[in-house]
Amino acid sequence: ERNALLRTLRVLTVLVERLWCWLDRTCRRCWGSSAESLEVSMALGDPSVAIQPTIWRTLHNRFNLVILPTILILAARDLLRWESDYYTQLFVLLYFVIDTAWIGLMGYRVVKDPQSIMVHHLAAIVLVAGSMLKESWRPFWSTGALIEVSTILLLTLRSGRVSNKHLSSMIHMAFLVSWFPLRWGVPLYIMYSCWSSFRAGEEPIFGIAAIFAAACVLLHMQVKWSAKLMTGQIRTMVSHGL
C-alpha cells in the first residue's frame, strides 16, 4: 500500500509539472507578456494599493467578493458540524470550475498571474472532488477553504472602495497576520490528515494520494506567493524610509 501511494504521488507530481509547462506555454502564446501584469506584481507587497481596474477585472473581483464569503460561511458551518453535504461541495466545485474557465479565457484582463491561479484552482478542484469520495473526508474541503480568508481581504483592499485609512490599515494588518497561519498551515494540516488516513488503512488509496498531492501543490503556491509578498513588503518599507 505504501509503494502504491508513492507511485501515485510520483505520477501526480509529473502530471502537475507537465500541466504547469503546458499552461505556461499556452498563456504566453494566448496572452503574451503583459505590462499590466508586471505593474500588478510590483504592487503585490502592499495590498492597500488599488490596482487600476478594467471592466473585466472589476467584474471578476465583484464575482469573487460575493462567492468567496458565501463559501467561507458554508465552510465554517461544515467545520462546526465536522461534516458536509453533497450539494455544498458541488457548489464549491462549480465555482472553481467556472472561475478557472473564466481566467483561462480572459487571462491578464482579470488577474495578474493567470498561470499560477489556474494551477491553484485545479489543485482546489482535485481537493474538493477528492473530499467527495468519502464522508469522513468531507472536512478536507471546508478546511481548505480557510485559505481564501486572505483572498477576500486582498480583494477588498484592491477594490479601492475602502476610503477610511484606519479601516484600510486594519484590513491590511489582518491580511498580513492571517497569511502564514492559513496559507501555510491549512495545506500542512491537510497533508498530515491524509497521512493519518493512509496509516489508518482508509480506502481508496488513489483518493488519499490525490488529496495529498493537491495539498502539496497548494502549499507550493503559497510558498511562491509568500516570497513575492515578503519581497514587496520589504520594497515598500524601504521606499517609505522604514
Summarize pLDDT for 83-102 with one digit per residue, the tens.
888 899 999 999 999 999 99
Q: What is the mean pLDDT of residues 74-81?
A: 91
Please tell me the pTM assigned to this model: 0.76
* Residue 45 reports pLDDT greater than 80: no
What string of H, E and C letters represents the secondary structure of the chain? CHHHHHHHHHHHHHHHHHHHHHHHHHHHHHHCCCHHHHHHHHCCCCCCCCCCCCHHHHHHHHHHHHHHHHHHHHHHHHHHHCCCCHHHHHHHHHHHHHHHHHHHHHHHHCCCCHHHHHHHHHHHHHHHHHHCCCHHHCHHHHHHHHHHHHHHHHHHHHCCCCCCHHHHHHHHHHHHHHHHHHHCHHHHHHHHHHHHHHHCCCCCHHHHHHHHHHHHHHHHHHHHHHHHHHHHHHHHHHHCCC
Tell me the pLDDT band of 126, cut-offs 50, 70 and 90. Answer: very high
Q: What is the mean pLDDT of residues 151-174?
A: 81
Q: What is the mean pLDDT of residues 16-44?
A: 52
Q: What is the mean pLDDT of residues 163-177?
A: 84
Mean pLDDT over the full length of the chain: 79
d(CA 208, CA 234): 39
Of 69-78, 161-170, 191-200, 211-220, the range with the lowest mean pLDDT is 161-170
Q: Which residues contact 166 (CB under 8 A, 6 or more apart)?
A: none
Tell me the pLDDT band of 181, cut-offs 50, 70 and 90. Answer: very high
